[in-house]
Structure 1
Amino acid sequence: MSTPPTRSGTRDFPKPEFTDAEAGALEFPSSTSRSYNYFTPARMRASMYEDVTVDVQPDPERHLLQGWIYAFADGQAGYPKDWTELRSSDWHTFLDPNGEWEQTIYRNNASAVRQVQNNLANAKAANAYGAWAPGWKEFVARHVGAWMHAEHGLGMHLFIAIQRSAPTNMINNAMSVNAAHKLRFAQDLALYNLDLTENIDGFDGAVHREVWQDDEIWQPVRENVERLTAIVDWAEALFATNVVFESLVGELFRSELVMQIAARNGDYTTPTIMGVGENDHTRDSGYTRALFTMLVADETHGAHNIETLEAWTERWLPVSLAAARHLQPLWSQPAERVIRFEDSLDRAKDRLRGVLADLRLSEPKELTS
């Protein structure tokens, strides 16, 4: 028989060696708590938005000890802060006041789509299009149809382009939702156009493309949109679009024109479609104001940021004002005219003045003329 094996000597195990390079060696806001977290929540308990958004994007200044693990061909690594002229003592301070995360994106956009679909179904069942005033179907085909190109252009070529450029996941996430809003609203208008083409005799569902490309009324708006999409600085693109362009052109057309005069021309359907887009803009304007308010209030960089934002206002205000003023003939085209263009533009200017005042920016002289 063979002899069974026996143990020899003292058993030994490799011992862990800590180098203080591990994340566990760091002090976090909840290091002494049984409920562990990497950040200090805005309230007593972290919201779902905070849990799935804050610090998801790594940062060597916060918890990523080995530095960026990838770089671009020119040597820039990660999320360079010099992709914008603005500065912040802590970019991670920003939290989206809308609390947008994956579930809310799907839920809110699904709700908007259902609202549009229900409105269209009800309008068709009630033969609501038959009550439209003479000439209104042409106005909707040409000009409401043309607006889908502005929404699609900004969503596809501006917000999708900048939604990866900011230094934190919280900012990029908010801009991604903004892109989704723009693209979905452009789709809403396109589907509305198709629905009207099927249900209204003589409705020209293709003329909007010609209007956007060639109509003199729309060319300054088109130029404004295209110039916005060419901005390299992500924060400038956001400011020039959501603060300047949307105040003077977007809200002017959607709210001050279409939503004001449609009902007087027998149309109760188009305002509900536009209202969905206005609700999107209200949410997007909320996060935009919160971000720039944080930046102008920065104790270290606030003065620099104010100076930069004022320079951007001077650069883009004349462009959007020119676009707005070229839309003036649209106010005289409907059969029922209930408002003056000058009054609508004044209200648009007042909205922009309010935003600039909230951001501690001086009022440009163009807004007083």
Structure 2
Amino acid sequence: MAETATRSFPKPQFTDAEAGALVFPSSTSRAFSYYKPQKMRATMYEDVTFDVQPDPERHLLQGWIYGFADGSKGYPQEWTQLRSGDWHAFRDPNEEWEQTIYRNNANVVRQIQQNLEGARKADAYAQWTPAWSRFVERNVGAWMHAEQGLGMHVFVAVQRSGPTNMINNAMAVNAAHKLRFAQDLALYNLDIEEQLAHFDGSAHREVWQTEPSWQGVRENVERITAVQDWAEALFAANLVFEPLVGELFRSHLVMQIAARNGDFTTPTVMGAGENDYDRDLRYTRALFSMLVEDETHGAANRALLQEWLERWVPVSLEAARRLQPLWSQPEEKVLRFEDSLDRAKEREVALLAGLGLGADAHIAAGSEGSAK
């Protein structure tokens, strides 16, 4: 029997030059350490969102690796007039990331579906007065166009424009809220049309396009869609339009008077939109607070926001005042328009005061202009 030749193989020689040989203070740590957490320990939100968007000021040492035809590259800070010493300091207080988006929106949709199923079983729509049925088909239906316009043509547009992933992620969630709420209203409209005789499920289109009371809201939304500065669009939508027009209609009108007109269902749908705005307002205030408190650019940022107030407050006040006829349409009129508007204006002044901005003069001037 022939002997089998013995074969030899080279053996690895370790020289301490291989990857992983270097020992440093966090060598044994299992946590990310390439950013400074807001608190003592990093959260899951920070781990999955921080630095996902590259930035030459932090880790992209070779500079932007992609650009646009006009010469701009990556995520230019020049896409807004506002300035920050550290855009990466922003954290979304809602800590929104992929899991929270699905979980929160699924909970909202599930709640609305359960409420509508209960309304169908109880034949709740039959308890509505004829005047209230007409109010819902025309005005509640029309509001879906405002939500759709802001969601698709404002927030979807600007959610790519911020200089960090943390900011863009928050605005993307804002877009999802708007589009889901517009869909909630559309499905609610169809549900009522199936259950209630003589309910015109298409009336909202004509109202949005031609009804004089709604043309101020329509103009306000369309003007915001034309804004190129992403921060100004966010400011005009969440810190001016929503308090003066959105909450005025949703909270100070529909949710206040629906029950007095035999409707206990619509407030649950509108309440979902109000909850969305509460979350969106939370991150908006955190972002602009960071900007007005910036050690280097805070004063200039505050002056610019005052200019934006002068531009947008009169537009939204005009839109609000043109909605006044809606307060007289239901049979049960438990609120005066001026009382509702005063509450909306007080809310706006308080919100802006929290940012160190004075809105009293702008709101007073806008009111006088509208009155004239």
TM-score > 0.5 by shorter chain: yes
Asked if the contact 1:30/1:36 (under 8 Å) is kept, the reply is no
Q: 1:16 to 1:130 in 2, by over 3 A?
A: same
Q: Which amino acid aligns with 2:214?
A: W
Q: 1:88 to 1:128 in 2, by over 3 A?
A: same
Instruction: Give the TM-score normalised by structure 1.
Output: 0.92
3-state SS, counterpart of residue 68 of structure 2: coil
The Cα of 1:44 is off from its aligned counterpart by 2.2
Asked if the contact 1:30/1:38 (under 8 Å) is kept, the reply is no
Do structure 1's residue 263 and structure 2's residue 259 form an aligned pair? yes
The Cα of 1:226 is off from its aligned counterpart by 0.5
2:7 and 2:194 map into 1 onto residues whose CA distance is: 90
Do structure 1's residue 186 and structure 2's residue 182 form an aligned pair? yes
The one-character-per-residue Cα deviations of 1:282-319 (angstroms, maximum 9, x if unpaired) are 00000000000000000000001001100001001110
1:323 and 1:237 map into 2 onto residues whose CA distance is: 17
2:296 and 2:27 map into 1 onto residues whose CA distance is: 29
Q: Which amino acid aligns with 2:253?
A: L
Q: Which amino acid aligns with 1:350?
A: E
Do structure 1's residue 82 and structure 2's residue 73 form an aligned pair? no
Do structure 1's residue 251 and structure 2's residue 267 form an aligned pair? no
The one-character-per-residue Cα deviations of 1:60-101 (angstroms, maximum 9, x if unpaired) are 111111111111111211100000000000000000000000
Q: Which amino acid aligns with 1:211?
A: V
Instruction: Show the 5 A alignment for 1:51-62.
Output: 51-62=47-58
Of residues 94, 97, 100, the one that matches 2:93 is 97
Do structure 1's residue 348 and structure 2's residue 344 form an aligned pair? yes
Do structure 1's residue 133 and structure 2's residue 129 form an aligned pair? yes
Asked if the contact 1:89/1:300 (under 8 Å) is kept, the reply is yes
Asked if the contact 2:309/2:362 (under 8 Å) is kept, the reply is no
1:6 and 1:122 map into 2 onto residues whose CA distance is: 80
The Cα of 1:13 is off from its aligned counterpart by 8.8
Of residues 223, 226, 241, the one that matches 2:222 is 226
Asked if the contact 1:314/1:364 (under 8 Å) is kept, the reply is no
In the other structure, the counterpart of 2:330 is: 334
Asked if the contact 1:150/1:225 (under 8 Å) is kept, the reply is yes
Instruction: Show the 5 A alignment for 1:134-173.
Output: 134-173=130-169
The Cα of 1:199 is off from its aligned counterpart by 0.2
2:136 and 2:212 map into 1 onto residues whose CA distance is: 17
The Cα of 1:202 is off from its aligned counterpart by 0.3
1:137 and 1:12 map into 2 onto residues whose CA distance is: 82
Q: 1:32 to 1:65 in 2, by over 3 A?
A: farther
3-state SS, counterpart of residue 130 of structure 2: coil
The one-character-per-residue Cα deviations of 1:217-236 (angstroms, maximum 9, x if unpaired) are 00111011001001000000
Instruction: Report which stretch shifted further, 42-51 or 260-269.
Output: 42-51
In the other structure, the counterpart of 1:195 is: 191
Q: 1:286 to 1:6 in 2, by over 3 A?
A: closer
The Cα of 1:17 is off from its aligned counterpart by 9.0
3-state SS, counterpart of residue 268 of structure 1: coil
In the other structure, the counterpart of 1:359 is: 355
Q: 1:212 to 1:343 in 2, by over 3 A?
A: same
Asked if the contact 1:242/1:285 (under 8 Å) is kept, the reply is yes
Do structure 1's residue 215 and structure 2's residue 230 form an aligned pair? no
3-state SS, counterpart of residue 67 of structure 2: coil
RMSD: 2.4
In the other structure, the counterpart of 2:237 is: 241
Which blocks of at least 5 consecutive residues in structure 1 are unaligned? none
Q: 1:181 to 1:130 in 2, by over 3 A?
A: same
Asked if the contact 1:251/1:348 (under 8 Å) is kept, the reply is yes
Q: 1:6 to 1:92 in 2, by over 3 A?
A: same
The Cα of 1:366 is off from its aligned counterpart by 3.5
Asked if the contact 1:30/1:39 (under 8 Å) is kept, the reply is no
In the other structure, the counterpart of 2:370 is: none
The one-character-per-residue Cα deviations of 1:246-267 (angstroms, maximum 9, x if unpaired) are 0100000000000000000000
3-state SS, counterpart of residue 204 of structure 1: coil
Figure out how many residues of one structure are paired with residues of the other and give that number.
359
2:138 and 2:75 map into 1 onto residues whose CA distance is: 42
Percent identical residues: 68
2:30 and 2:108 map into 1 onto residues whose CA distance is: 41
2:279 and 2:326 map into 1 onto residues whose CA distance is: 27
Of residues 117, 120, 123, the one that matches 1:124 is 120
1:6 and 1:277 map into 2 onto residues whose CA distance is: 75
3-state SS, counterpart of residue 318 of structure 2: helix
The one-character-per-residue Cα deviations of 1:34-63 (angstroms, maximum 9, x if unpaired) are 634211112222111111001111111111
